[in-house]
Chain A
Amino acid sequence: MRKLLFFFLLMSGLNVVAQNPFPRNDVEDDRSGRYAFKNGTVHIDPFTEITNATLLIEDGRVVSVKENGTIPNGFSITDLKGRHIYPAFIDPYSTFGMPEVKDGGFSWGKKEQITSPRKGPYNPNMAIRSDVQAAELFNFDKKKADELRKAGFSTVVSYHKDGIARGKSALINLAGEQTNEMILNANAAAHYSFDKGSSTQDYPASLMGAIALLRQTFMDANWYKETNPYFDLTLEGLNNSMNLPQIFEVEDKLSVLRADKLGDEFGVQFIINGVGDEYQMVNEIKETGASLIIPVNFPKAFDVSDPYIAMDISLAQMKHWEMAPANASLLHQKGIKFAFTADGLKNLSDFLKNVRKAVDYGLPVEQALAAMTTIPAEMIGANNVGNLRSGSYANFIITDKELFEDDAIIIENWTGGDKLIVNDLPEVDLTGYFTLNVGGEKFQLVGKGSPAKVSHELKINDSTKVKTKSSWKNDQLSLSFDHDGSVYLLSGWKSDDGFKGKGQINSEWITWSANRDSTYQKKEKKEEEKDINIGEMIYPFVAYGKKDLPEQKTYLIKNATVWTMEDDGIIENTDILVEGGKIVSIGNNINSSGAEEIDGTGKYVTPGIIDEHSHIALDGVNDVAVNSSMVRMKDVVDNSDINIYRQLAGGVTAAQLLHGSANPIGGQSALIKMRWGMSPEKMLIEDADEFIKFALGENVKRSRSSNSIRFPQTRMGVEQALVDAFNNALDYERKWNSYNELSRKDKERTKAPRKDLALEAILEIINEERFITCHSYVQSEINMLMHVAERFGFRVNTFTHILEGYKVADKMAEHGVGGSTFADWWAYKWEVRYAIPYNASLMTGAGVTTAINSDDAEMGRRLNQEAAKSIKYGDMDPYEALKMVTINPAKLLHLDDRMGSVKEGKDADLVIWTERPTSVYARVEKTFVDGRIMFDSDESEAMQEEIAEERNRLIKKMLKVKENGGDTQEPSRNGQKNFHCDDFYYQF
């Protein structure tokens, strides 16, 4: 209804303008703005074109488009002479006219910013800015507007690129007498991102924090609407914009999925502004049902002429260079709706050029045009832009030929009836082969190029050519050149068969003429080999990604030595049958007709290794709120981390991906299997129990930052922070309980309590629906947390790192908590000064379920060796030692009913080793996950070769671009994230 009303207001705009309220300094000069364009091809929309059309516009609006339409009196007529008119483009994602945004940065090592420094009745978090209205901030920039218009745009959606919730954008026409007129809709869309922009507030510091904050904000908005607990301009703004199109900006394809999933939780379908890598996860993106806004800023080829520099360009970067132009086409083939944006282009003139490239890569032209006109219009619910139907804005471009022909040029851009000349086409044709008679001499003059862009040269003979300067301006031709030591300056006008005029040779006045002998024949450009081979897609899109997912076959491993990790112990000469992803049988001489046999003679088979503490495969690790129990590592799983494959190469099949240890209460864990090639969602272990990271000690108390002001800064304070969280959670539960117990009538009269995702997570711990893995080192703090837990009636599940666990192992056993520790790390900080490598042996001896974990992508791939260190330190039996990386972590993660041992009915997560698995000499031959061979050492070597070949192909192709004078970019290597508990850094 509102939209309809708005439309009527727009339609009646004619009258509003007629009664112009703006002061003027002249007589009234209201012209009708009636223009007629005839003899052209008018594309009313991408799927409707009229040839020999007449387009009538009046007062900035389209009156009609008719084939050979009659032109009423009072219209200025332009003869298009066969040219084309298209609806002008709409950029649905622009910051046109918006103020610059300065990045808020992160207070790393400085004084923390805990509360929002924004003054006024705004949201408690500075990155939530739904109160912002782009229309209020709008400042017309004529220069930029003209640039956009020259690129073919008439209309943009301008949003303020600041914050996680960014408020409302405005739909803006790029021309008009007054700003008031240009803003077609001040409530175009609501905008979001995962980037906190100018916010200097610490939380959220991570992607999962941003997601958690937005999740809580949507809940808060709902609660605010229902209970009006206080005045909050931001939540008012958010609630007011919920009925608008919701546009979400993301930084990669994974976040397309993340944004959509978040929207699903609240019944919101986001339109997602991606970065152009969506083709890499096209199937998953299709499933979201989201429409996309995609850029056309295709990467330039890398300058790979130096092999040592080329080496640093990843396969993914190279393949993306090759495939990026096919993004649109691949999305279209999948039936994903998308609009184009010029966002991200350094040079606006590349917009059309690159859309044409997308067309070369298989995107149908109608679809390309729709993605620039009707689709963006539809996305923001505007039906009077992006087409040339009667009543629509007279926003169009005139081109000399079909828009998608390579050399078609935009001649004019009309926006709301305002004309901008983009390319001043001479009315005369300056091309052709002329005989130039000048001062008694005859030369051949050649006008080359297209009418829009002509250059002239003098051909003296076959080998001698003289460059000339020429221009056509104000109906006059100027032509000058140097020849035989003489300077020729000629000026002339049109004649019947060419040009003639007066001029000077070395200051002597002469007359001249140039008669056209024939028209210019464009030299058939050597059909520029448009190499649109885009290579093969791999999943995930990095080196060692595979073309197809390994199959879940029936496998029979024959005659191996099996370390069962069950009471059966080590059994020799044993067969294992794997079917449907499960271990079906274990025994001697198993026969299975359909099974693929794997000879295990001389080999060792163990269950897959489970890493209780890992930070691989994540797009973030630490957030900073003292209690960040609302952040979820599940939200930020990155399935393309090469370290997943590397873990498989070390026999690791499952891991707990933990939040970091920057705060006492960290975030919720993600339990994954190393399902290389699957989506993040599918990597998560089905129906696993929920875990959460806690942390104690030096990291939590910010020992390394002397500027920190954040509470707590001592172990004493940490206890209080924890008790406080549990108390608050109980209080929260009481509030909800008493509210829920109210009668329906009373409920209507009572304000509902606020849903608090942090407290809910804490409450789950008390209710034993969520389990703690606590980063801890020294005995005092370990003791403390056990007491806190007991006080609130639950048990700590696991102490991780726990290097002084050996000092309180008896208490741990009594409490029932497990220990997941490092084999021999110590002395890297003060609190691990008394860490000893006998810790695992002592804890095991005292009856604590003990695991060895990695916290490190490198160590994670040789956890068998780390476990074996307890043989040296504490004389542990090798078989017991291996339990610390198989069945014991499975127990700690409550997965021992389906993983962690070789047992019939369990998941077929298996490793085949070349030697006794506790030996430093043991290598992984094959790693199975759910009965799929996810890693095979021979295959891996073959893939290394294939990768080299593929790189070679791409390098050759890039070198060719350079040879042919194409644009290249300096190679710049992508950083690889490598997370640890403490913080994160990039590998080098």
Chain B
Amino acid sequence: MTSITNFNSNSFEMRILYIVLFLIIGISSISAQVPSPGEAQSKPILITNITVHTGTGDVISDGAIVFKDGEIVSVGKSTEVDAPEGATEINGEGKHVYPGFILPNSKVGLVEVESVSATIDASEPITISPNIRSIIAYNTDSEIIPTLRFNGILLAQVTPTGGLIPGQSSIVQLDAWNWEDAVVSMDEGIHINWPMAKLPPRWWRNETEWRDNEDYDESINKIKELFIDATAYSQTDPTDENLKLEAMKGVFDGSKTLYVHANRAKEIISSLSFAVENGAKKVVLVGGADSRYILDFIKDNEIPIILADVHRLPMRAEEGVYDPYKLAGYLTNQGVKVALAYNSVANSRNLGFYAGTTAAYGLDKEEALKLITANPAEILGLDNYGTIEVGKSATFFISSGDALDMSGNEISHAFINGREVPLEALQQRLYEKYKKKYDLK
């Protein structure tokens, strides 16, 4: 105590000390919580002695990859790949390399703590708001983001929620200074939350049975009216810009994907027929819990599905206990294009284990990998991502074991567009801190 009271805090030395202390604490705490994004690739990199899971279904054992300026220039057996001049070499030590996982339909960067409303920027209280753009609220410094990278997720679709038409999503890469820097595909889709015809019981009113959604017809009408008006609007060139109708234009010319969110059989049929009949060029079903029951419709219309959840309970007691685990495999084997999403943002780092689960229940492991790499890339229109192939973005990671298995997923390197990105962050720093405290090795 005395030393502080006697201290002349205005002394030059003290000020220097303060500044130094501030810088040390400041920098270390910033880098602990939100590490700086990796720097652009300056030199070609060669990875050798690695098993390549290409995301196309192929596995190249004893493989090698060369990438330059963020682009894959060579993939193949170690013996077939030559090291370019001046390349940095990474010895893969027999590990595995996977395309960066892609997380569709996510609130990442929009939601920090799900129960604290001040940390949430995911939904407006407006029923119809196609004009809303998620990208401008995307927080690159979200502490959730490094936890995704740590498990191999390198791209995400930032998606607004709430209301019947919550707005537009964008695709981001998960290591960026700001949203402009992060964006991979801007405003690439419009989302519809198809209303439920029946609503679950309200336990606080002693209800035990599902009830009719009284607003169902009105909600459907609202969506219909928007589509009718937007179609008309898109055929003219009005001087008065209508933000909502303007936002819808891309749905009709194919520049924006229409993501239709529905889970129950009836709603899936209603919503998809609506979307197809009303001129949406690219339609994707999101949710799709009941999709096995309406397979013909989905196949006839060649609609890809983003399954919202794998680790969920069956919809009905009568269903097979493992049906949710089997669904992706079932649909894939029937020729449907399937990607996986994750319901809660904080836990979405487990996306890889969703794919692993589908492999445990009926899907080939490399096919399971596609559900979170090549397939979402195709569904989300990311031509440059999702597979490890020549000409594609060098967006992949190295794991010492099977990345779809929690007992194998251990990532040593990750690259986004050739940039090596930081993996460790706050959680690892806290781990180290307490490991030290308890003297653990």
A: residues with CB less than 8 A from B are 103, 105-106, 108, 308-309, 311-312, 314-316, 542-544, 642-643, 645-646, 649, 698, 703-704, 806-807, 809-810, 824-830, 833-834, 836-838, 841-842, 845-846, 857-859, 861-862, 865, 868-869, 871-874, 878, 916, 918-923, 940-941, 944, 947-948, 951, 972-978, 984-988
Contact = CB atoms under 8 A, between A and B. Distances in A.
Contact of B356 (A642, A857, A920): A920
A829 B316 CA distance: 29
B273 to A, nearest CB: 13
Nearest to A871: B407
* Residue of B143, B198, B208, B313 most packed against chain A (CB within 10 A): B313
B358 to A, nearest CB: 10
A830 B317 contact: no
Interface stretch (B39-47, B224-232, B345-353): B345-353
Contacts of A645: 321
Contacts of A827: 112-114, 143-144, 345-346
A306 to B, nearest CB: 8
B382 to A, nearest CB: 26
Contacts of A874: 431
A858 B311 contact: yes
Contacts of A987: 200, 313
A837 B435 contact: no
A338 to B, nearest CB: 24
19 contacts: A308-B265, A311-B293, A314-B316, A316-B317, A544-B317, A646-B314, A698-B115, A827-B112, A827-B345, A829-B114, A830-B115, A837-B427, A874-B431, A916-B407, A920-B356, A940-B321, A972-B210, A975-B210, A985-B203
B406 interface: yes
A526 B318 CA distance: 37
B318 A842 contact: no
A845 B435 contact: yes
A114 B375 CA distance: 55
Interface of B: 112-116, 143-144, 196, 198, 200-201, 203-211, 265-266, 269, 293, 311-322, 344-347, 349-350, 353, 356-357, 359-361, 404-407, 409-410, 426-427, 430-431, 434-435, 437-438, 440
Contact of A308 (B293, B347, B430): B293
B245 to A, nearest CB: 33
Contacts of B316: 311-312, 314, 543
Contacts of B198: 312, 973
A643 B321 CA distance: 9
A830 B116 contact: yes
* Residue of B211, B356, B435 most packed against chain A (CB within 10 A): B435
A878 B359 CA distance: 21
A810 B435 CA distance: 11
Given A827-B144, A833-B143, A951-B318, 6 more contacts: A824-B350, A842-B431, A858-B313, A975-B201, A975-B208, A975-B210
Closest 6 CB pairs of A and B: A827-B346, A920-B356, A975-B201, A829-B115, A838-B431, A642-B317
Question: Interface of chain B, helix or strand or loop or mixed?
Answer: loop
Contacts of B314: 646
Contacts of B116: 829-830
A872 B265 contact: no
Contact of A973 (B112, B205, B210): B210
A865 B353 contact: yes
A314 B317 contact: yes
A105 B205 contact: yes
A858 B312 contact: yes
Nearest to B309: A858
* Residue of B210, B318, B319, B405 most packed against chain A (CB within 10 A): B318
Contacts of B210: 312, 972-975, 988
Nearest to B345: A827
A322 to B, nearest CB: 16
A972 B209 contact: yes
A986 B198 CA distance: 13
Nearest to B268: A308
A382 to B, nearest CB: 33
A924 B158 CA distance: 36
A473 to B, nearest CB: 45
A503 to B, nearest CB: 53
B435 A828 contact: no
Nearest to A970: B212
Contacts of B427: 836-838
B6 to A, nearest CB: 33
B288 to A, nearest CB: 15
Contacts of B440: 842, 845-846
A868 B113 contact: no
A847 to B, nearest CB: 9
A825 B319 CA distance: 28
Contacts of A985: 200, 203
Contacts of A312: 198, 210, 316
B209 A973 contact: yes
A727 to B, nearest CB: 33
Nearest to A950: B318
A553 B360 CA distance: 30
Contacts of A868: 405-407
B110 to A, nearest CB: 13
B407 to A, nearest CB: 4
B320 A976 contact: no
Contact of A974 (B208, B321, B434): B208
Given A311-B316, A312-B316, A829-B114, A649 B438 contact: no
Contacts of A873: 431
Contact of B200 (A869, A940, A975): A975
Contact of B201 (A309, A833, A986): A986
Contact of A828 (B205, B269, B344, B359): B344
Contacts of B311: 858-859, 862
A810 B438 contact: yes
B407 A920 contact: yes
B293 A872 contact: no
A984 B316 CA distance: 18
B347 A825 contact: yes
A859 B435 CA distance: 28
Given A312-B210, A920-B406, A828 B438 contact: no
A985 B318 CA distance: 20
Nearest to B117: A704
A923 B359 CA distance: 11
B113 A921 contact: no
A809 B438 contact: yes
Given A869-B406, A919-B405, A920-B406, A646 B321 contact: yes
Contact of B410 (A643, A858, A872): A872
Contacts of A940: 320-321
Contacts of B357: 862, 920
A740 to B, nearest CB: 44
A941 B320 contact: yes
A842 B427 CA distance: 12
A108 B313 CA distance: 27
Contacts of A830: 113, 115-116
Contacts of B203: 975, 977, 984-986
B346 A828 contact: yes
Given A311-B265, A311-B293, A824 B320 contact: no
Nearest to A829: B115
Contacts of B319: 944
Contact of B266 (A309, A833, A842, A872): A309
